[in-house]
Structure 1
Amino acid sequence: MTSAGTVDMEQKWVFGGVDSHADTIHAAVVTGNGGHLADAEFPTTTAGYTAALAFLGAHGDVVAIGVEGTASYGAGFTRAARAARLTVVEVNRPDRAEHRRSGKSDPIDAYAAARAALSGRASSAPKDETVTGIRALHNAAWSTVKARIAAINQIGHILVSAPDAIRDRYRALRGKTLIDTLARQRPHGDAVHTAVLTALKSLARRVEDPHRRTRRTHVRTRRRGQRPPLPHSPRPHGQRRPHTRVRGPAECGRPNKEGDHPSPQEAIAREVFCYLTTTVTVPDIADLRPLRRSRNITLTTVAEYFGVWPAVISCVERSTRRGDDLAGAYREWLTAA
């Protein structure tokens, strides 16, 4: 038999669901039993995220929020919810069979995300901001590789249909030799030869080493005054710059003495090196469950005291969800009980 206090607390517990889009998000609220309460649409702005969180909190204590696309359209709302110290879980988009059974609309998807958070079907935590930065650097590096491959293929296609004089001149060249020769050549001849050679030279420069392209772009930008020069120690007139030593992975994210910024590959290597060499202390919580059982205390009693869902306490005890503050308060409460 359920006590009246437990019923009141369950009535205050609600779960949220968010269906995210490029310009709007649709938020929905369900009770602890899965009943629909309300849903509304908000813009994907800072004010819209604040209004959405206030809308969810107006219906009770939000236990968890299921969000579709936490790393894409829902990234902004996820950051706002985490800043408000709310639990956010990542929800996979419904499959086609679910759409055929329930239909496809923003309110339906939002309620489905809320029910996924309630049932525990969605339990994975979204990736943090550091992973987002690494993903952006990796995408930039991969797009550079794809651009080089596309430029190399275009050079080959142009040489196939180029005038005979150009084909005979560059027919025997391959690989880096061909790229370097095309990048250094000066277009000349009639209009057709000049256009073809100009296109080949432009493509060859795209294939060049990205480090050289980064340095050249930085120097041009600094000369135009768009970026102030980096501070450096003054040198007497005529003194040569000393040789720059090879930098380690931990220094790859910093500009070197010449003011050159790192490539995306160097920045990724620096972040990975920092993660592999940084020691993270995780508190031991293996004593919580035996201590609670020795006191003959149920999960429901603990949840009522801390005002959380019993599944949250169970996840903390089983180390499937990290909550250092809750675990510390939980241990102190058990010790004093």
Structure 2
Amino acid sequence: MSRPTGPVAGVDTHADTHTLAVVTAQGAVEFTEQFTADRRGNVALLRRLAEVEALDRVGVEGTSSYGAELTRTLLAAGLTVLEVLRPTRQVRRMDGKSDPVDAIAAARQVLTGDGTSTPKHTDSPVEALRYLLTARRNLVRAASRMITAIKSLLVTAPDPVRAPLRGLTDRTLIARLAACRPGSDMADPATAAKHTLRLLARDYQRLHAEADGLEDRMAELVTSINPALLEVFGSGTITSAQLLVTAGGNPDRIATEAQFAHLCGAAPIPASSGKTRRFRLNRGGDRQANAALHRIALVRMNHDPRTRVYVERRTNENRSKKEILRCLKRAIAREIHHVLLDPDIAAPVDLRALRIQKGITLTRAAEALQTRTARLSDIEARRRPLPDLTNRYQQWLTAA
């Protein structure tokens, strides 16, 4: 983006107030002003900007947090909005720290173009997907805490309570506890233990049921937004949703695959000096997106023949598993970027709709393919990467 030729604005956003600063193309401060962080304040800020002649662009700090609604307001008004970084420690030491100072720093950052980026669009279906993804992540975390508490209580529970539950899988354990009848004598430790364990087990079941319901809705959203992402080997509903949220509703803002890899923390950082040429691990970027790439890489290492050949070759070159994983994540980021920019690159077949259209039951299909109905159900919902069985299933349905 070319250097601004007219005045630019910077906004320091907070929960209750937004501070606006306008500077000339030469960096001189024209004015600073504070507005409330609500609809009325956003409209007043927009009117104040309309009074600035030949305003070039606006830099907003926190476009996906405190400045989300302001960013939507500015974009709807047709203004060019850039996301700016918070002032560095060096700037804060030299210029101090206050809302007007930060707003001026944001405006001058727009002038230099350093550290600016196109903000995500937060009025698209991807934003709805972000809410569902956040809710599911917290539900799963809460369920994990429940099972941890259950097992911790079982360690100290009376033997008549603990003995019948030894050696059970987590699913069977939860089902057994949720269905138990503890009795009414709460002064008895065994009864109190059963009562507590039943409450925790039922909460665990409820949390998992809600998380599964959210996953089904997320699968529908991902399919409507970018179905090709679900066809990437190793990318399930949750992984695809996270990558879509990271890219935002306007993935074209990420011009190159190198930028996307850097956004995901999958690009090595140069750490060279003098005659020394080296790179260091990137510990920045979106760590949730980095974890999504990591999961895809692990799935491919276990199930993709091409990836297993690559891993074997790199292992023979004395590369460690961590180094191989980093290389795989970088290559996967390149593939994901292409799919994000071209959703029609590989339109997937809706196997469930095709099966229902032909009047075929899951049981009949499973018997024909000599597999279990649960696996075909996972394939239709895109819950598990089973490429060989998926191809056989699709060919069978097409020919049926």
* TM-score (ref. length: structure 2): 0.52
Q: CA RMSD in A?
A: 2.6
Q: Is the 8 A contact 2:227 2:343 kept in 1?
A: no
Equivalent in the alignment of 2:68: 75
- When residues 11 and 161 of structure 1 are mapped into structure 2, their CA distance, relative to the original with a 3 A threshold, is closer
1:8-45 CA deviation, whole Å, 9 max, x = no partner?
A: xx999321111111111111111111110111111111
Equivalent in the alignment of 2:197: 200
Q: CA deviation at 1:135?
A: 1.6
Query: Are 2:39 and 1:46 aligned?
Result: yes
Q: CA deviation at 1:138?
A: 1.2
Q: Is the 8 A contact 1:11 1:31 kept in 2?
A: no
The aligned amino acid for 1:208 is Q
Alignment match of 1:271 (pick from 221, 224, 227)? 221
Mapped partners of 2:173, 2:64: distance in 1: 42
Q: Which blocks of at least 5 consecutive residues in structure 2 are unaligned?
A: 229-341, 345-400
Q: Is the 8 A contact 2:13 2:60 kept in 1?
A: yes
Q: CA deviation at 1:172?
A: 3.5
The aligned amino acid for 1:103 is G
Q: Is the 8 A contact 1:89 1:122 kept in 2?
A: no
Mapped partners of 1:11, 1:162: distance in 2: 70
Q: CA deviation at 1:211?
A: 6.7
| Structure with the larger helix share | 2
Query: Are 2:105 and 1:155 aligned?
Result: no
Mapped partners of 1:172, 1:11: distance in 2: 68
Q: CA deviation at 1:101?
A: 2.1
Q: CA deviation at 1:204?
A: 0.9
The aligned amino acid for 1:91 is V
1:144-174 CA deviation, whole Å, 9 max, x = no partner?
A: 1111111110101111222332222323333
Alignment match of 2:77 (pick from 65, 84, 93)? 84
1:250-329 mapped onto 2 (5 Å cutoff): 263-277=213-227
**Whose radius of gyration is greater, 1 or 2?**
1
1:148-187 mapped onto 2 (5 Å cutoff): 148-187=143-182
- When residues 280 and 178 of structure 1 are mapped into structure 2, their CA distance, relative to the original with a 3 A threshold, is closer
- When residues 173 and 120 of structure 1 are mapped into structure 2, their CA distance, relative to the original with a 3 A threshold, is same
Query: Are 2:91 and 1:141 aligned?
Result: no
- When residues 61 and 263 of structure 1 are mapped into structure 2, their CA distance, relative to the original with a 3 A threshold, is farther
Q: Is the 8 A contact 2:49 2:55 kept in 1?
A: yes
Q: Is the 8 A contact 1:15 1:31 kept in 2?
A: yes
Mapped partners of 1:96, 1:49: distance in 2: 29
Alignment match of 1:20 (pick from 13, 17, 35)? 13
Q: CA deviation at 1:189?
A: 5.4
Mapped partners of 2:343, 2:193: distance in 1: 57
Secondary structure at the aligned position of 1:62 is classed as coil
* TM-score (ref. length: structure 1): 0.61
The aligned amino acid for 1:194 is T
Secondary structure at the aligned position of 2:12 is classed as strand
Secondary structure at the aligned position of 2:181 is classed as coil
- When residues 102 and 176 of structure 1 are mapped into structure 2, their CA distance, relative to the original with a 3 A threshold, is same
Mapped partners of 1:185, 1:109: distance in 2: 59
- When residues 280 and 164 of structure 1 are mapped into structure 2, their CA distance, relative to the original with a 3 A threshold, is closer
1:300-332 CA deviation, whole Å, 9 max, x = no partner?
A: xxxxxxxxxxxxxxxxxxxxxxxxxxxxxxxxx
Alignment match of 2:28 (pick from 35, 56, 69)? 35
Alignment match of 1:120 (pick from 113, 121, 132)? 113
Equivalent in the alignment of 1:334: none
Equivalent in the alignment of 2:277: none
Equivalent in the alignment of 2:362: none
Q: Is the 8 A contact 1:18 1:113 kept in 2?
A: yes
Q: Which blocks of at least 5 consecutive residues in structure 1 are unaligned?
A: 1-9, 215-261, 282-337
Secondary structure at the aligned position of 1:135 is classed as helix
